[in-house]
Chain A
Amino acid sequence: GENVEQHPSTLSVQEGDSAVIKCTYSDSASNYFPWYKQELGKGPQLIIDIRSNVGEKKDQRIAVTLNKTAKHFSLHITETQPEDSAVYFCAASRPDKLIFGTGTRLQVFP
């Protein structure tokens, strides 16, 4: 069936360290992979996305990598700050909808 696996479910890092969240998808036809950040009491916010025609995309401290052969993609956050603490969701596209991972709770300790 269609699913997206996301690991780890929780991640704790010291401020300034890097954080990596990994996702694996099952549908080889997926071609769009967004990442969302959800802070407490708010809806998910799109922070970065990647399409299947590229292998890596960066936006300041955030980067996403995609390995289409292995069907996995990852979110990398460098120089983490306390305000990066939130739940992060990955998703993979199907022709008519997005399939979401179960989320990673990231805690950044000062």
Chain B
Amino acid sequence: ETGVTQTPRHLVMGMTNKKSLKCEQHLGHNAMYWYKQSAKKPLELMFVYSLEERVENNSVPSRFSPECPNSSHLFLHLHTLQPEDSALYLCASSQDQASGLYEQYFGPGTRLTVT
């Protein structure tokens, strides 16, 4: 049990659908992250939130929209996705946003398939 949960675990959606991924951390951390994991590629950092404020957006297309209503919850809203967006989406949290100093803990991920 990592203390970071994600729902749903699997999601299949069409290109015109709108869906949301949810992440919750039970570790009392102040920072939360969204990563995209594709086959044979390094983990790609998408968004970083620190104390509910977005501090990084790595040139992610606008069809991905994050939301952080409080320090324990993180959402990723999806709309008009492309097949190449199919991947494992991982949520992580750390004690502080300075991840160079604090360990990141990952959730189990949401396997997204865009048809």
Contacts and interface: CB of A to CB of B under 8 A. Distances in A.
Contacts of B101: 32, 93
A61 B101 CA distance: 25
Interface in A22-44: 30-32, 34, 36, 41-44
Interface in B55-110: 55-56, 90, 92, 97-101, 103-109
Contact of B108 (A4, A43, A98, A101): A43
A32 B104 CA distance: 12
B45 interface: yes
Contact of A101 (B2, B6, B42, B92): B42
A88 interface: no
A49 B43 contact: no
Chain B interface size range? 20 to 34
B99 A98 contact: yes
Contacts of B45: 97-98
The interface residues of chain B, by DSSP majority, are classed as loop
Chain A interface size range? 20 to 34
B32 interface: no
B53 to A, nearest CB: 14
Contacts of B41: 102
A103 B88 CA distance: 15
A96 B40 contact: no
A96 B6 CA distance: 24
A43 B99 contact: no
Contacts of A20: none
B90 A89 contact: no
Contacts of A95: 98, 100
B103 A49 contact: yes
A45 interface: yes
9 contacts: A32-B101, A36-B106, A44-B106, A45-B106, A97-B99, A98-B99, A101-B42, A102-B41, A102-B42
Given A96-B48, A98-B99, A98-B100, 12 more contacts: A9-B40, A34-B104, A43-B4, A43-B6, A44-B43, A45-B2, A93-B101, A94-B100, A95-B100, A96-B56, A98-B104, A100-B42
